[in-house]
Chains A and B, each alone.
Chain A
Amino acid sequence: MKKVLLILILAFAVVWMGCELKTPETPKLNLTQGQLALNKIVAVGNSLTAGYQSAGLRRDFQEHSYPYLIAKQLGKADEFEMPWIEAPGIGSTELTDPNYVAGPLEMTAEGPKVLDSTLITQVPTLLSNALLPRPYDNLAVPGADLNDALNTLTSEGNGNAFFDIVLRNPNLGNTSMIQQAIMLNPTLIFLWLGNNDVLGAALNGGDLDAITSQSDFQSRLNSVLSQLRSNTSAFIVMGNVPYVTDIPFVNTLDGIFVDFGALGKLPVMFDSNFQPIDFDPSDGVLYLPLQTAETNVEHITLPYLSIYSETGIGIPDSADIADFLQLLGQDQATAAATAQQLVLGIKANGLNPTGIPMPGNLTITTDEAQSIKDAIDGFNATIAQLAQTYQVAVFNANAMLTQLNENGIDGYTGKYVLLDPVNTAFSLDGVHPNNAGYAIVANQFIGILNQALGLNIPSIDTDQYRGQYAQALSSRKELRRLSFRALEGVKSIFIRESKN
């Protein structure tokens, strides 16, 4: 009896000991690390990431934002939540009636125009995804700079409605763009900020006070990256800053500059093809310089087009022309007589020789252009350095724009729509890409993802976007009869008070 019990207890002990759990073999999902990184995509940035086009944001533009295009390539468009703005959209052009918000620019036979607007009180009805109970996957706010990404929570005090539209505070707990990105625990972050730390300077004719200091840029970007790094395990791709002087808003009129030798390069009166007008009916050449308040002007910005054709500011009057002809060697009497004739000819062509010099906020001087480029070079050096520190991949947007301007990409160019109606990659505002331009940007990001994460995301066929404005432009009248007044107001959200 005792024996039996003993055997039982012994057997029992042996069985029990043999019941330790074996560690199973590590299972494998049919996923690579790279595919895992695509699990949750979040984009932070400014207008370029929001999909801003033609001085406005509207669903069809947002659907061509590069993060959305990439999500679409991945078959994840349905789950990629955007702050949809339904037609007519919200633009940054200032209207004369302050109770209305302009829609984006449209290309018409009369020129780029705001065709539609919304009563301010009706704006909330355009926001079809406003009750999404979580932060948007595309958190980009047009007009946001690095400081905004870290600190700006609402539109209060900055006049930029997009902060409220995207960040939706206080409902999201008074959280910043970067914090909302963290709340989504992303596995992949598209980060493209910094353009607005310098863009305003270019749009406002070389306003150097609108450039963020290098030290502030460095510390703010450092803060953005350290917050994202320490609170997420995301793969991060960060875009750098293109030369904002190489965009149509700034360089479309570069072709009207003529080298007068000792007098330097001066902008001159131009025709409907943005070409200098030769006022000499005989074999010689005679170009008439435009009047500028600043000297050593290198660029004249796009809004000058409407001023040139409508008010005539910057167009020399007969005294200006006579002075200039004397500089060229004519005697006073001949110069005065010739000037009289030329002014008659100018007026006959519907232009108004006012003799009033164009103000400095329409012109960028050589020094201003250099300062802007220097600032961007500094920013990009900071981006490259911090990218290393924080193990971030860099999308070289600066090189992309240079390539677009020099050689074109996929047959597209960086020229303004009036110079290259079919193949332009820029939208009507001359600052932001159009559908094709954003597809080119998306392909650049896709290339980086494919290389860094060993993925095979197909590129977007950019051909499908060719000729976005072709129809309206086919009936285009000559330049002088086109209206460019709408362009004057497109920059409001990109130009803020001094950065320092």
Chain B
Amino acid sequence: MRNKFLVLFVMLAMVSVAAAAGFQLYEFGARSSAMGGAVIANPYDASTLFYNPSGIAFVPGMRFYANLDLIFPKALYVGPEPLPWAGQVYNAESQVFTPIGLYFTFPVNERLTTGISVTNPFGLGLKWSDDFPGRFVARNTDLKSFYISPVAAYKLTDNFSLGFGLDLVIAQVLLERNVLLFDNRYEVGTSKLTGTSQLGIGFTVSATYKTDRFGFGAMYRHSVKNEFKNGKAEFTIFDDLSVPNVAAIASAILKDQNVNTAITFPGSFNVGVYYKLMDNFGVELDYNYVMWSVFDKLDIEFPDDPRLNQTVNENYQNSYTVRFGAHYDLNENFSLLGGFILDKTPQPIESVSPLLPDNDRTNYSVGFSYNTGKMQFDAGYMFVNIGERSTIENGVGMNDVGFDGTYNSNANLVFVSFGYTIK
């Protein structure tokens, strides 16, 4: 009887998970990234395994290509009047994230090329200080995805190829936040949810049409549902509670246990057009349509105690990204690269939170590529301007769980790649 009663205390705000535009990454080859990711229509190196798998039919030879990103995200929060923390600025802690891209292509014959890649197309996280007033919503979030993608591309004609690939996906999640009991009023400790998903499977279908000066590429990437079974929920109860006896209640109900959930990484449809304006100067325009509406809600289930189950509403909207890229070849080995991106956020204002304060983004990228034919070295830099977004519209707080304020965020990305080709 007692336990039955106690269990009812657990309140809905205990856990929530979210992925977001900010969790989507598109930077998996330094040359490609420096061109704003606008490379679908002009396959150049093995990173096309990520951007447009059918393109590997146009990059001859057996290729190794490896990419490392260094991502330095920044975010801050300012509290609104008349809350007690009005005007106070809370900066997210400095972190560096290092998604990778590893590629290998293997031509089987004149027409058929196979390849495999490992990428982390959804990831990132945010960590706030212990005194951050939104610590009940999110204090430390880290989401990683590993896409292992075998691909086959077939040249139907000299100018046209089709590609088909599988996405074998594993995701990892870490969510830490502080726990409130009693109608979300009394802070008793922290919760930490960790989990590794089961294997999720998706696929890609892609096509490339390419002439000397012109290129067209298209790819469909299917969504991937990642089931987290037997994730772990761990709780820490503070030992200096103002009502000491609450610790006993809290530890009686916040028992470490398994937790299940599922996160669906959205599918996308991507097209691009490339045109070589001059012999040493080409430009490309790409469009990504990301079907984020699959991320409408998150069901978190506690199999050992279904009364703790909860649903978090996210209600993401489908969104799009427009990418513009250019390369200028100084000589046959060395190219300068640039890009510009308009990235529409899928996140409705209700879901803007310390988990991820997303916004429409404008990104700028620069870089260079050095290619001897056998060896390729690329490096670049991108500035992701996320900018200010407030959950307060005309004085009304819009956040779904009532944590309102204004965020400002951006990210600096550095990427380096190395490639080796055996002809």
Contacts and interface: CB of A to CB of B under 8 A. Distances in A.
On whether the two chains bind one another, the answer is yes
Interface of A: 1, 4-5, 8, 11-12, 15-16, 19, 21-33, 36, 40, 131, 133-135, 170-175, 179, 182-185, 230-231, 233
A428 B366 CA distance: 85
A28 to B, nearest CB: 5
B364 A182 contact: no
Interface in B240-273: 242-243, 245-246, 248-249
Given A4-B334, A134-B183, 13 more contacts: A1-B334, A4-B330, A4-B336, A8-B368, A12-B381, A16-B381, A24-B388, A26-B87, A30-B395, A31-B82, A134-B185, A175-B246, A183-B185
B76 interface: yes
B59 interface: no
Interface residues of B, number: 54
The interface residues of chain A, by DSSP majority, are classed as loop
A179 B243 contact: yes
Interface in B69-90: 74-76, 78-84, 86-87, 89
Contact of A23 (B8, B89, B334, B410): B89
Nearest to B392: A27
Nearest to B6: A171
Given A27-B390, A29-B396, A233 B84 contact: yes
Contacts of B378: none
B136 to A, nearest CB: 12
Interface in B292-334: 330, 334
A425 to B, nearest CB: 34
Interface stretch (B100-108, B166-174, B401-409): B401-409
Determine which residue in A4, A24, A172 has the highest number of CB atoms from chain B within 10 A of its CB, and name it: A24
B83 A175 contact: no
A5 B334 CA distance: 11
Determine which residue in A12, A36, A179, A184 has the highest number of CB atoms from chain B within 10 A of its CB, and name it: A12
Nearest to A26: B87
A29 B185 contact: no
Contacts of B10: 133
B408 A24 contact: yes
A231 B242 contact: yes
B2 interface: yes
Given A21-B409, A23-B89, A29-B392, A184 B83 contact: no
A33 B396 CA distance: 15
Contacts of A12: 366, 381
A40 to B, nearest CB: 7
Contacts of B162: none
B342 to A, nearest CB: 18
Given A4-B330, A183-B185, A16 B390 contact: no
Top-8 shortest CB links A-B: A30-B395, A133-B8, A134-B182, A173-B245, A27-B80, A185-B185, A26-B87, A231-B242
Contact of A184 (B80, B182, B245, B404): B182
A136 to B, nearest CB: 11
20 contacts: A1-B334, A4-B330, A8-B336, A12-B381, A15-B381, A22-B388, A24-B408, A25-B78, A25-B406, A27-B392, A27-B404, A27-B405, A28-B395, A29-B392, A40-B185, A133-B182, A179-B245, A182-B186, A182-B243, A183-B243
Nearest to B411: A19
A23 B408 contact: yes
B17 interface: no
A30 B182 contact: no
Given A23-B408, A173-B248, A183 B186 contact: yes
Contacts of B80: 26-29
Contact of A16 (B394, B397, B412): B412
A27 B406 contact: yes
Contacts of B182: 133-135, 183-184
